Structure 1
Amino acid sequence: MSIKDKPQQPRSRLIGNILLLVSGGFLLVNLFLPQLFGPQIPRVPYSIFIEQVQDGNVTRVSVGQDNIRYQLKDENGQPGQILATTPIFDLELPKRLEEKGVEFAAAPPSNNGWFSSLLSWIIPPLIFVGIWQFFLGRGGGGPQGALSITKSKAKVYVEGESAKTTFADVAGVEEAKVELAEIVEFLKAPQRFTAIGARIPKGVLLVGPPGTGKTLMAKAVAGEAGVPFFSISGSEFVELFVGAGAARVRDLFEQAKKKAPCIVFIDELDAIGKSRASGNFMGGNDEREQTLNQLLTEMDGFAATEATVIVLAATNRPETLDPALLRPGRFDRQVLVDRPDLSGRQAILEIYARKVKLGPDIDLKMIATRTPGFAGADLANLVNEAALLAARSRRETVAQADFSEAIERVVAGLEKKSRVLNEKEKKIVAYHEVGHALVGSLMPGGGKVAKISIVPRGMAALGYTLQLPTEDRFLMDEAELRGQIATLLGGRSAEEVVFGSITTGASNDLQRATDLAERMVTTYGMSKVLGPLAYEKGQQNSFLGEGGMNPRRAVSPETAKAIDGEVKEIVENAHQQALDILNQNRDLLEEIAQRILEVEVIEGDQLQNLLAQVRSPEKVAAGV
């Protein structure tokens, strides 16, 4: 796919440059030509001129606006040399000239006066026209010019010599590809659909989190169908000038109809498509509302045409869109482009891994297993980070260790080797992270503990425990959520068991544990006291609450007190569970902590052999 070329030097800008050169030439000729080629008259100071007048040596004076020319007497009293001086404001000069009998008069107009008058009428309009033409063509002579604010800023991609994007370049969203394959079939052979009276959707809305490949999917549809592809962002419609957004929408669809069948892709549709009932608009004359109204009309209005123009749009906030956009006849089909599962991540990694040189030890399935929740853009960045690490080490291929380090850089941040901890802090961090690992190894559904490190990373992490899921999970039960809270409190509990005091290092753990416990009570209905009721407004994006906390509904003081009591009880029970596990495995806690203080990082089989020795309090009580 390639962008259609535009003329580099528009005619309007060329004419403006020519006019500027002509007017400038006339001005130079008028100002400097007489001085360069006219008679050279010696100039003297005004004081010498007055002295010569007083001595009676001056015979004739010609006074001009910016020049005084006078003629001296020679030795015989006859007219002689001609001199010039610069005039000053001197009211006594005429009296002095009369007293000495000097003939004086005003200077006659210059021979090129008519030429100067002509230029004074011609040059200003020429300069104005030249500057006007310059600003017209300032944006490249095309739609970006000063008087072209109503032109669409869409980039037009047409089928060219360069490799085009197809469905083979998109992975991890197989369901979305199946849905959009029908659009491709209609663009290729519309007769098969229209023959039986079927009508293809005019608008398809791609919905999904950022980085999941919505724009790439739209390009793949255009590439598969082999039709022109108009791409524009929703924010490019809105302009300072009133009415410019609506005019750009009209111009975009006019261009699209001329190239039909084609695809129009609007990225970030929520920039202009927010609901008009949500208070985002101040009134009926709001610029964004006019733009939205024009878009609604173009898609399925009274003046709609039969041209095959399919509108694809992308957004990660479909709940904010105006209902008029989502009704049948406009965006009547929504395609979910979600984060990929394990097989999807592996397929995406295979696509991006083709662009780098991989070593023989690379296992893409293992990498996909270690990257749950990664979107397509995250995986592309992961492959690039691994390639950069290999290049930094001056190796010719990317190794598995490069991918492992890249995952940790993305998840936990860069290593802070310059951040040196003293011995006491290093010891506290070691026991803290081992506490997380020991508790996490016994909790159900918490993932496999793959690494313990006390090397500082990112902005605040002084150490970290890496847990990797063994499979993709979409549901969690109450026991697994309580186990996650206990794992989060394992670090603080280890500090209590070993040092008898706590530090500020567990602040983030406490925040996450409290938020998860509150969601259990207010969102998931996992409270016997409050029952199966939801006390939060709206819905979370997943069972883990991605997307941030929603404000709590208005509840009575008694209910709020009951919610706080239930949250506190869940966290305290998890805290006690973590303390019991660590007290039961105190010797193992000391052994692993001392070893990690020596090597700073423990992973692989060595870590798994140590964690296999962890005993749960229930088994110990049962004598197992």
Structure 2
Amino acid sequence: MPIKEQRTPPRSRLIGNIFLALAALFLIANFILPVVLGPQIPGVPYSLFIHQVQSGEVDRVQVGQNEIRFQLKTENDQAGPVFSTTPIFDLELPKLLEQKGVEFAAAPPPKNGWFTSLLGWVIPPLIFVAIWQFFVSRGGGGPQGVLSIGKSKAKVYVEGESARTTFADVAGVEEAKTELVEIVDFLKTPERYTQIGARIPKGVLLVGPPGTGKTLLAKAVAGEAGVPFFSISGSEFVELFVGVGSSRVRDLFEQAKKQAPCIVFIDELDAIGKSRSSGGFYGGNDEREQTLNQLLTEMDGFAAGDATVIVLAATNRPEVLDPALLRPGRFDRQVLVDRPDLSDREAILKIHAQKVKLGEDVNLKAIATRTPGFAGADLANLVNEAALLAARNQRSYVAQEDFAEAIERVVAGLEKKSRVLNDKEKKIVAYHEVGHALVGSLTSGNGRVEKISIVPRGMAALGYTLQLPTEDRFLMDEAELRGQIATLLGGRSAEEIVFGSITTGAANDLQRATDLAERMVTTYGMSKILGPLAYQQGQQPMFLGDGAPNPRRMLSEETAQAIDREVKEIVETAHQQALDTLKLNRDLLEAIATQLLETEVIEGEKLHSLLSQVQTATQSGFSS
């Protein structure tokens, strides 16, 4: 079912040809014919004209704005020759002509023919119509008048015209694919379900964080079913003109019904599907609300006898959608497309790794283990970064070390080798990072310490300690959370022990430690004093977190003070744990920091060997 190329309609070409012909006639009548057919009058200098007037040789004069024509006298009173000259601003010329008895008058206005006058009235409106028609046609509808602005801008993918995407091209979302297989079956054999009275779903909403493959899944559904695929973004419905969005919704569904069975995919649904009461107004008349109302109406219009059209939509902000969109009968199903786990990440890496040349030492499972929380787009970017690093290093294949460096670039940022620290700052950063590593090596649930570096990275990091998990974790107990807080405070504790003072380098560590301690008390109920109560208001899942904590419930002054005391106690206890551990391992702290100042980076088996010598402070409560 190929899409035919849209050509310029005959009506548009006819109007254009008529306009060009009339414009040519206008130019000929006003500029070319007067020059070709008009009388040829010789011109003379103005000084000669004045001399002839003073000599009495001039009989009569016609004074125009741009030309002076004069006729000379003859002896037999016959009409003399006519000449012209260019006028000069001269107030004495009329007096001179009157003194010499020369008959003079103003030149008559030019006489235009009826045809020229007609063209003067017709050409300007035609120019306006042509310009308007040009902009309207570029607005997406051809010469169909203002209504063409409301045409849908959806891109149509038809089988055979482009590369077909199937479920084999999508990895890491097995549960979502299982849900969508039934949609494919609906599109292929709808009668199988309608015969027994089953209702074909009208809409499927794909919900998940950015980069998890929602758009790719929608294309795979269309590719598996072998049906046309209409793709449009929610922002493309809304324009400056009121009513254009709803017009485009109508046009989109009319096109879809003509090519049914098909799939309509609306990306970023929240652009037009936000709750109508979110702004505090009900029954408003803005363009976005009219577009949403038209979308609701069109989805209600799919009755049992209508063409098989399924609407797929994607959003990463489900909490802002209007409830009318999510009710049964519209978006009947919501499919979560979440971040992949360990096995899914390995499968995604295998798909993207097919496009690059891998070295024999590449272990995709190890890479998947070191990338928890990475979405599909993140993993694709990781493979590309590794390939770029290999090419930069003049290698013909991608090695494991390229993937390791690519992970650090994504997690910690680019190396800032131009940011040079003085000796004192470098020494402080070295002890700070070693403090993190020593305390972190004794905490479970924090991951394994893989690298210590005092090479600045990213926007603000003067050094970093890289801890990578050995497995995917979904739950953490209280001891592990307290260990995380102690690890965050390990850098500050090392500065206190070695230098007897603290610097501004621990600002981010303190912020993260305090936030984690507050969540333990107010969200997780890990407080013996306050008990198993949640003091923060729960919210719907947000895949685009803005970093702001959930607001607290209405608290009494006594409860708020108790929360503050409990948070302070957790942080101070963790701080003491870090101090005890570092004091017990002071010699090891000095040895690793000295070596780090020499090499700037310690990693791999050498680092693991050093950290295996850490002694556990029994009073600190760590579990090795």
Smaller-chain TM-score bracket: over 0.9
User: Could you say if the C-alpha distance between residues 147 and 83 of structure 1 is closer, same or farther in structure 2, counting changes exceeding 3 Å?
Assistant: farther
Q: CA deviation at 1:369?
A: 0.5
1:119 matched residue in structure 2: 119
Q: CA deviation at 1:65?
A: 6.3
Q: Are 1:15 and 1:133, in contact at CA under 8 Å, matched by a contact in 2?
A: no
1:30 matched residue in structure 2: 29
Q: CA deviation at 1:153?
A: 1.5
Letter in 1 for 2:379: L
Q: Are 1:243 and 1:290, in contact at CA under 8 Å, matched by a contact in 2?
A: yes
1:201 matched residue in structure 2: 201
| 1:299 correspondence with 2:311 | no
Please give the per-residue CA displacement for 1:443-467, whole angstroms capped at 9, x wherever unaligned.
0111111111111000000111111
2:595 matched residue in structure 1: 595
Letter in 1 for 2:559: T
Q: CA deviation at 1:111?
A: 7.5
Q: Are 1:67 and 1:84, in contact at CA under 8 Å, matched by a contact in 2?
A: yes
Q: Aligned ranges for residues 53-132 of structure 1 at < 5 Å?
A: 53-63=53-63, 66-73=66-73, 79-86=79-86, 97=97, 100-102=100-102, 113-132=113-132
Q: CA deviation at 1:196?
A: 1.4
Q: Report the 3-state secondary structure (helix = DSSP H, G, I; strand = E; otherwise coil) of the residue aligned with 2:356.
A: coil
Letter in 2 for 1:464: Y
Deviates more, 1:53-62 or 1:512-521: 53-62
- Partners in 2 of 1:272 and 1:307 — Cα distance? 25
| 1:553 correspondence with 2:539 | no
| 1:615 correspondence with 2:615 | yes
Q: Report the 3-state secondary structure (helix = DSSP H, G, I; strand = E; otherwise coil) of the residue aligned with 1:442.
A: coil
- Partners in 2 of 1:143 and 1:467 — Cα distance? 62
Q: Are 2:140 and 2:151, in contact at CA under 8 Å, matched by a contact in 1?
A: no
Q: CA deviation at 1:98?
A: 6.0
Q: Are 2:210 and 2:316, in contact at CA under 8 Å, matched by a contact in 1?
A: yes
User: Could you say if the C-alpha distance between residues 434 and 109 of structure 1 is closer, same or farther in structure 2, counting changes exceeding 3 Å?
Assistant: closer
User: Could you say if the C-alpha distance between residues 455 and 499 of structure 1 is closer, same or farther in structure 2, counting changes exceeding 3 Å?
Assistant: same
Q: Report the 3-state secondary structure (helix = DSSP H, G, I; strand = E; otherwise coil) of the residue aligned with 1:257.
A: helix
Letter in 2 for 1:532: P
- Partners in 2 of 1:419 and 1:10 — Cα distance? 63
Please give the per-residue CA displacement for 1:212-264, whole angstroms capped at 9, x wherever unaligned.
11111111101111111111111121222222211111111111111111111
Q: Report the 3-state secondary structure (helix = DSSP H, G, I; strand = E; otherwise coil) of the residue aligned with 1:149.
A: helix
Q: Are 2:218 and 2:265, in contact at CA under 8 Å, matched by a contact in 1?
A: yes
Q: Are 2:12 and 2:143, in contact at CA under 8 Å, matched by a contact in 1?
A: no
Q: Are 2:199 and 2:304, in contact at CA under 8 Å, matched by a contact in 1?
A: no
Q: Are 2:212 and 2:375, in contact at CA under 8 Å, matched by a contact in 1?
A: yes
1:265 matched residue in structure 2: 265
Q: Are 1:71 and 1:80, in contact at CA under 8 Å, matched by a contact in 2?
A: yes
Please give the per-residue CA displacement for 1:407-439, whole angstroms capped at 9, x wherever unaligned.
000000000010111111111111111111111
- Partners in 2 of 1:355 and 1:20 — Cα distance? 55
2:341 matched residue in structure 1: 341
Q: Are 1:10 and 1:141, in contact at CA under 8 Å, matched by a contact in 2?
A: no
User: Could you say if the C-alpha distance between residues 72 and 169 of structure 1 is closer, same or farther in structure 2, counting changes exceeding 3 Å?
Assistant: same
1:235 matched residue in structure 2: 235
2:246 matched residue in structure 1: 246
Q: Are 1:16 and 1:133, in contact at CA under 8 Å, matched by a contact in 2?
A: no
Q: Aligned ranges for residues 513-524 of structure 1 at < 5 Å?
A: 513-524=513-524
- Partners in 1 of 2:4 and 2:449 — Cα distance? 55
Letter in 1 for 2:17: I
2:330 matched residue in structure 1: 330
- Partners in 2 of 1:562 and 1:44 — Cα distance? 107
Deviates more, 1:213-222 or 1:548-557: 548-557
- Partners in 1 of 2:30 and 2:381 — Cα distance? 63
| 1:212 correspondence with 2:185 | no
1:7 matched residue in structure 2: 6
- Partners in 2 of 1:10 and 1:420 — Cα distance? 67
Aligned residues between the structures:
621
- Partners in 2 of 1:503 and 1:306 — Cα distance? 70
Q: Report the 3-state secondary structure (helix = DSSP H, G, I; strand = E; otherwise coil) of the residue aligned with 1:538.
A: coil
Q: Are 1:3 and 1:157, in contact at CA under 8 Å, matched by a contact in 2?
A: no
* Unaligned stretches of 5+ residues in structure 2: none
Letter in 1 for 2:189: A
Q: CA deviation at 1:305?
A: 5.9
- Partners in 2 of 1:546 and 1:32 — Cα distance? 68
Q: CA deviation at 1:85?
A: 2.8
- Partners in 2 of 1:154 and 1:3 — Cα distance? 16
- Partners in 1 of 2:173 and 2:90 — Cα distance? 92
Q: Report the 3-state secondary structure (helix = DSSP H, G, I; strand = E; otherwise coil) of the residue aligned with 2:441.
A: helix
1:507 matched residue in structure 2: 507
Deviates more, 1:360-369 or 1:151-160: 151-160
Letter in 2 for 1:586: R
Please give the per-residue CA displacement for 1:353-376, whole angstroms capped at 9, x wherever unaligned.
111111111111111001000000
Q: Are 1:274 and 1:321, in contact at CA under 8 Å, matched by a contact in 2?
A: yes
Deviates more, 1:70-79 or 1:407-416: 70-79
Letter in 2 for 1:405: E
2:495 matched residue in structure 1: 495
User: Could you say if the C-alpha distance between residues 241 and 451 of structure 1 is closer, same or farther in structure 2, counting changes exceeding 3 Å?
Assistant: same
Normalising by structure 1, what TM-score?
Answer: 0.93
1:471 matched residue in structure 2: 471
Q: Aligned ranges for residues 133-212 of structure 1 at < 5 Å?
A: 133-139=133-139, 142=142, 147-212=147-212
User: Could you say if the C-alpha distance between residues 534 and 15 of structure 1 is closer, same or farther in structure 2, counting changes exceeding 3 Å?
Assistant: farther
- Partners in 1 of 2:570 and 2:98 — Cα distance? 116
Q: CA deviation at 1:95?
A: 7.1
Q: Report the 3-state secondary structure (helix = DSSP H, G, I; strand = E; otherwise coil) of the residue aligned with 1:550.
A: coil
2:529 matched residue in structure 1: 529
- Partners in 2 of 1:408 and 1:42 — Cα distance? 87
1:388 matched residue in structure 2: 388
Q: Are 1:157 and 1:229, in contact at CA under 8 Å, matched by a contact in 2?
A: yes
Please give the per-residue CA displacement for 1:82-123, whole angstroms capped at 9, x wherever unaligned.
211345788986776566454556667767633422321232
- Partners in 2 of 1:420 and 1:90 — Cα distance? 80
- Partners in 2 of 1:253 and 1:587 — Cα distance? 73
Deviates more, 1:529-538 or 1:433-442: 529-538
Q: Are 2:140 and 2:149, in contact at CA under 8 Å, matched by a contact in 1?
A: no
Q: CA deviation at 1:497?
A: 1.2
Q: Are 2:319 and 2:541, in contact at CA under 8 Å, matched by a contact in 1?
A: no
User: Could you say if the C-alpha distance between residues 82 and 621 of structure 1 is closer, same or farther in structure 2, counting changes exceeding 3 Å?
Assistant: closer
Q: Are 2:141 and 2:149, in contact at CA under 8 Å, matched by a contact in 1?
A: no
Letter in 2 for 1:610: L
Deviates more, 1:88-97 or 1:456-465: 88-97
Please give the per-residue CA displacement for 1:19-68, whole angstroms capped at 9, x wherever unaligned.
45334323332333122564442334556534423321112434556533
Please give the per-residue CA displacement for 1:261-280, whole angstroms capped at 9, x wherever unaligned.
11111111111111223336
- Partners in 2 of 1:244 and 1:478 — Cα distance? 55
Quick one: percent identity of the two aligned structures?
78
Please give the per-residue CA displacement for 1:103-150, whole angstroms capped at 9, x wherever unaligned.
556667767633422321232232222222222223465499865221
User: Could you say if the C-alpha distance between residues 542 and 215 of structure 1 is closer, same or farther in structure 2, counting changes exceeding 3 Å?
Assistant: closer
Q: CA deviation at 1:598?
A: 1.1
- Partners in 2 of 1:479 and 1:146 — Cα distance? 67
Q: Report the 3-state secondary structure (helix = DSSP H, G, I; strand = E; otherwise coil) of the residue aligned with 2:439.
A: helix
User: Could you say if the C-alpha distance between residues 164 and 613 of structure 1 is closer, same or farther in structure 2, counting changes exceeding 3 Å?
Assistant: same
Q: Report the 3-state secondary structure (helix = DSSP H, G, I; strand = E; otherwise coil) of the residue aligned with 2:150.
A: coil
